[in-house]
A and B are shown apart, each in its own frame.
Chain A
Amino acid sequence: MKFYDLIWLIPIFPLLGAIINGLVSNRLGLQKSVTNAVAIAGSGLAWLLGWAAIVQWALELGIHNTHIVSLFSWFQGGSLRILDGSVAEVDVAASFQLDPVSALMVAFVTFVGFLIHVYSIGYMHDESDRAYARYFSYLNLFMFSMLVLVLGSNMAVMFVGWEGVGLCSYLLIGFYFEKEWCAAAGMKAFIVNRIGDWGFLLAIFATFMVFGTLEFTEIFPTAAAHPETYAAAATVIGLLLFVGAIGKSAQIPLYVWLPDAMAGPTPVSALIHAATMVTAGVYMVVRCNVIYRLSPTAMLVVAIIGGLTAIIAATIGLVQNDIKKVLAYSTVSQLGYMFLAAGVGAFVAAIFHVLTHAFFKACLFLGSGSVIHACGGEQDIRKMGGLKKYMPTTYWTFLAATLAISGIPIFAGFFSKDEILAKAFEAGAGDLNTFGTTYYALWALAVVAAVLTAFYMFRLVFVTFHGEFRGGEEAEHHLHESPWTMTMPLVVLGVLSIFGGLIGIPGKLFHHPEWNLIERFLEPVILPIGHAAENAEHLSHHAVSLGLEWGLVLLSVAAASFGIWLAYRFYMGAGAFVRPRLLAERFSFAYRLLLNKYWVDEIYAATVIAGTIKLSRFLWEFDARVVDGVVNGTALTTVGSSFISGVFDLKVVDGAVNLVAKSYDVASREFRRLQVGFTQGYAMVMVFGAAVLLGVFYLVKL
């Protein structure tokens, strides 16, 4: 049996689960056990089939062969003249592909997704049967969308998944829609994502205009073979794609939705807002690495946005008191690292960090869910403390994941983060694309962000799990370890947080480059570009000596250790909380700045949102005054002329002034009829619009 020919089935299983749970279990309010069986089957079968297909594909076809399964021709259209002068037929297929990047993504999306389904059984058991079914239906739907996103072999199919995960994100963030702020958070995520989707959509159009196809396997070899021809186009496409990535992966300036997304149930935060969906942007940038490598500008933008996001989100994370908010900002920060990696050309490191981040961040979120569950919904870490003795499994897995995210050697995050830092430094040393200084600065920012990461993550551990419980007598009685469905995924993910990084040992440091499994695995995706570019990359590899590389490793370990030490001094022992309070008082402005997240939400409210409202109001008034003047032209002339003849003898100037005022008055009163809800007004606008279009058509044809 050729499993790799059945990859289209991988997304279908969760889709079936979503349909059954959404349309049957939810409607009929079936028992939780039925819902469980359907949802687990949907995600579990996807997991098994996914892994089977990947293993078989790698063994039988080899990782250098991109395997494409084309189902049917999705849509066809006319023809279009493209950049190189030839004519391309608009023909987009619904097809899926298996190559190293998508294989890696499928492998961990299905696996982590399955674990989170299992975890959710324990976490959501208090919900009513129907809400439970709804929840699992959304969760399965999300798996479907994400798998379509990563398996799609062209941008159109990818876009379907891209929109799908956005939709599921909205549905799941607003899961507790009866609470207004949850519903609002869902809408915020949806709208902010829409801005990014707009960029992606434009990028798709641009790609089609340039390459005449949307298939990845056709675009990238073409672009790589003619770097000069496509350089300018690559900048445009790359930047537009990155707008999409900014929205989906919560980068500056569109990161504001992610912290609010914590309104959803905690497993959702783990699945969508840490492990999978938000990495879609990184995945897309890595997938399109050829486009980015053709365009130094796009690379630089990616790197700068990534670096700035990493540091800014890390600083905000320092002072947050909501356990999930801290994790949310750390996610934003780590995503910044991934884009920094992509921006310095270390695409393998970016995907590697996606992978390890999926393990430890899912573990952290699930651990926080376990904590919240035990504390009866309390999310404020100031009301926790000393949880270590009540929930040992949660504590140890959480600690492992924290060590991983901080970048302590052996743990997963160390290898990926260290590689990113090393590659950023190399980019500076090798003067990549002659932007060396900028890349040095970004590297420095990333090192500082590493210190901050270690600090705020250990602050979280110390405040939550050590010391005395601060939540009151009664809450203390309820503290308990979570059921096995919740701890089992924690243990699995905790183990992976420890050992998951071993697939990417920086073998170069030991003169054994072949130890770096992930780099060898992903190598077919990084297509060589022309001749000159290849030499340049070759040079940059040797810009940093082995000794310096070791020095960088030690530096990143030292940075992490320093952050941990700082957190220990601040939040452990006798002087716990004293120092941070003093600091907060001393630098109260900085403290408030961070606590209020740089007032970014407020700035957006004052500028973008208020601007939109003002614009709408202006347009309304324009409608009311100018357009209405036309509408009531005949009537107004009569009113106006009689008015003028009436007052002409008295005061001409006054009369004219009054006429203006009066006409405004009459006009706005009358024109309100054409506002919302007046069907025939719309019909009239359509008629005039059609007439104008027809006129334009004639003018163009003549």
Chain B
Amino acid sequence: MIITATHYLVLSLIIFCLGLVGVMVRRNFITVLMSLELMFNAVNLNLIAFSYRLDDLAGQVLAIFVITVAAAEAAIGLGLIIALVRLKDTVSLDEADVMRS
């Protein structure tokens, strides 16, 4: 049995959707960010699968950029968490509602 790009795509899809559901249902800001990381990883998996399938290194380079952006996102997101805790003493996303009118 040969493992094709399709296998990787389906795996990537499963992880992506799990991350998506996690983003939507978790109350805790930290776990929401973790779910986001899952989604990033799914994207990377996708890129790598296509890079291999199409025999093109550009996919790997793109994945590196994705990792960089994910790192930036994590830094900003965690900074936000610290700010939120300082401001409202909570990590619950649904309590970060200053914009609510």
Contacts and interface: CB of A to CB of B under 8 A. Distances in A.
Nearest to A680: B24
B47 interface: no
A447 B96 CA distance: 63
A677 B24 contact: no
Nearest to B23: A683
B67 interface: no
Interface string B65-101: 0000000000000000000000000000110111111
B101 A676 contact: yes
A677 B101 CA distance: 8
B9 interface: no
Contact of B93 (A676, A679, A687): A679
A677 B20 contact: no
A484 B32 CA distance: 65
A688 to B, nearest CB: 11
Nearest to B29: A679
Contacts of A673: 94
A680 B101 contact: no
A683 B24 contact: yes
A128 interface: no
Interface in A515-563: none
A684 interface: yes
B100 A679 contact: no
B96 A677 contact: yes
A679 B20 contact: no
A675 interface: yes
A681 to B, nearest CB: 9
A75 interface: no
- Interface size class on chain B is 10 to 19
Contacts of B97: 676-678
Nearest to B27: A680
A684 B22 CA distance: 11
A678 B99 CA distance: 9
A612 to B, nearest CB: 16
B24 A675 contact: no
Interface in A40-85: none
Contacts of A683: 20, 23-24
Nearest to A687: B20
Q: Which of A675, A677, A684 has the most CB of B within 10 A?
A: A677
A684 to B, nearest CB: 5
Contacts of B25: 680
Contacts of A687: 20, 24
A673 B25 CA distance: 13
A680 B35 CA distance: 12
Interface residues of A, number: 10
Nearest to B25: A680
A77 B25 CA distance: 39
A680 B97 CA distance: 12
Nearest to A672: B100
Contacts of A676: 97, 99-101
Nearest to B97: A677
B98 A677 contact: yes
Nearest to B100: A677
A8 B23 CA distance: 49
A680 B23 contact: yes
A684 B24 CA distance: 6
Contacts of B23: 680, 683
A613 to B, nearest CB: 13
Contacts of B99: 676-677
A677 B20 CA distance: 19
Interface in B22-54: 23-25, 32
Contacts of A680: 23-25, 32, 93-94
Nearest to A684: B24
A690 to B, nearest CB: 10
A680 B98 CA distance: 15
Interface in A331-380: none
B72 to A, nearest CB: 19
A412 to B, nearest CB: 52
Q: Which of B24, B25, B96, B100 has the most CB of A within 10 A?
A: B24
Interface string A653-685: 000000000000000000001011111100110
Contacts of B93: 679-680
A674 to B, nearest CB: 10
B14 to A, nearest CB: 16
A678 B101 contact: no
A679 B33 CA distance: 13
A679 B100 CA distance: 11
A191 to B, nearest CB: 19
B77 to A, nearest CB: 12
Contacts of B24: 680, 683-684, 687
Contacts of B96: 677, 679
Contacts of A679: 93-94, 96
A678 B93 CA distance: 8
Nearest to A676: B100
Contacts of B101: 676
Nearest to B101: A676
B64 to A, nearest CB: 26
Contacts of A677: 96-100
B97 to A, nearest CB: 4
Contacts of A675: 100
A680 B94 CA distance: 8
B16 to A, nearest CB: 11
Interface string A443-462: 00000000000000000000
A535 B98 CA distance: 68
A528 B94 CA distance: 65
A75 B100 CA distance: 38
A304 B101 CA distance: 44
B20 A678 contact: no
B17 to A, nearest CB: 9
B7 to A, nearest CB: 22
A136 to B, nearest CB: 35
Nearest to A690: B20
A680 B33 CA distance: 12
A676 B100 CA distance: 5
A677 B24 CA distance: 14
A76 B94 CA distance: 42
A678 B98 CA distance: 10
A608 B67 CA distance: 49
A683 B99 CA distance: 16
A266 to B, nearest CB: 37
Interface of B: 20, 23-25, 32, 93-94, 96-101
Q: Which 9 A-B pairs have the closest CB atoms?
A: A677-B97, A677-B100, A677-B99, A676-B100, A680-B24, A684-B24, A683-B24, A679-B93, A683-B23
Given A678-B97, A680-B24, 4 more contacts: A675-B100, A676-B99, A677-B100, A684-B24
8 contacts: A673-B94, A676-B100, A677-B100, A678-B100, A679-B94, A680-B93, A687-B20, A687-B24
